[in-house]
A and B are shown apart, each in its own frame.
Chain A
Amino acid sequence: AQSVSQHNHHVILSEAASLELGCNYSYGGTVNLFWYVQYPGQHLQLLLKYFSGDPLVKGIKGFEAEFIKSKFSFNLRKPSVQWSDTAEYFCAVNDYKLSFGAGTTVTVRA
């Protein structure tokens, strides 16, 4: 079964700092990769996704992610965070079903 690892449980940043969240998955075949964001008290929203092609994908709200096949990784980045980026971030991998990582809580201090 697919497993998804998110390296950081809780990240605390100041506004304007850069953010990078790590994600690794276990399956070596063709996968579809996703990052979802969950703002406090809300549902999961799709930030970005990778299916194929350019391994650097851009999503909403200034986020981007890089797929590195050799490392089974799909790390999320944002050059300059805002207070409104405070949320839970989930990496997900889809082979025959969508498997989620445990999530990373990001707290941005004003």
Chain B
Amino acid sequence: DTAVSQTPKYLVTQMGNDKSIKCEQNLGHDTMYWYKQDSKKFLKIMFSYNNKELIINETVPNRFSPKSPDKAHLNLHINSLELGDSAVYFCASSSHDSYSRNTIYFGEGSWLTVV
């Protein structure tokens, strides 16, 4: 059973399109994240939600909109895709309990290519 699962794994789309990436975690965690990994492997946090509430919103174009229908799901919608949006997007989750101390577990990534 995949702990943090995201779909689709690969996505090729044209500039200007709107696309969504879905993420679900079955770990019972209270916090979920979206990270972006660029072509140089650099990882940058985009958003974080705790119990469906947005707690981290880094400097990200407002074409990117996260949505958390419940604490087990965090979807990422991207409007008007641009070439520079091509990257790997990782969903992740964590728990703030005293044992886990916010250890983050990652999904398998969604490879987005904008052409």
Contacts and interface: CB of A to CB of B under 8 A. Distances in A.
Q: In the complex, which of the residues B41, B45, B48 has the most CB atoms of chain A within 10 Å of its own CB atom?
A: B41
Interface string B85-110: 00000100010000001111111110
A44 B102 contact: no
Interface of A: 32, 34, 36, 38, 42-46, 49, 51, 88, 90, 92, 94, 97-100, 102-103, 105
In the A-B complex, the 8 residue pairs with the closest CB atoms: A100-B43, A44-B106, A43-B108, A43-B106, A103-B41, A32-B101, A43-B109, A51-B101
Interface residues of B, number: 20
Given A43-B90, A97-B45, A103-B43, A32 B102 contact: yes
A44 B90 contact: yes
Nearest to B88: A43
A81 to B, nearest CB: 19
A42 B109 CA distance: 8
A97 B48 contact: yes
A42 B16 CA distance: 28
Nearest to A38: B41
B42 A46 contact: no
A99 B35 CA distance: 11
A97 B90 CA distance: 15
A42 to B, nearest CB: 7
A102 B42 contact: yes
A87 to B, nearest CB: 11
8 contacts: A32-B102, A38-B41, A42-B108, A43-B106, A43-B107, A43-B109, A98-B45, A99-B45
A90 B43 CA distance: 9
Nearest to A104: B41
Contacts of B94: 98
Contact of A98 (B40, B42, B104, B108): B104
A22 B95 CA distance: 27
A51 B97 CA distance: 13
B41 to A, nearest CB: 5
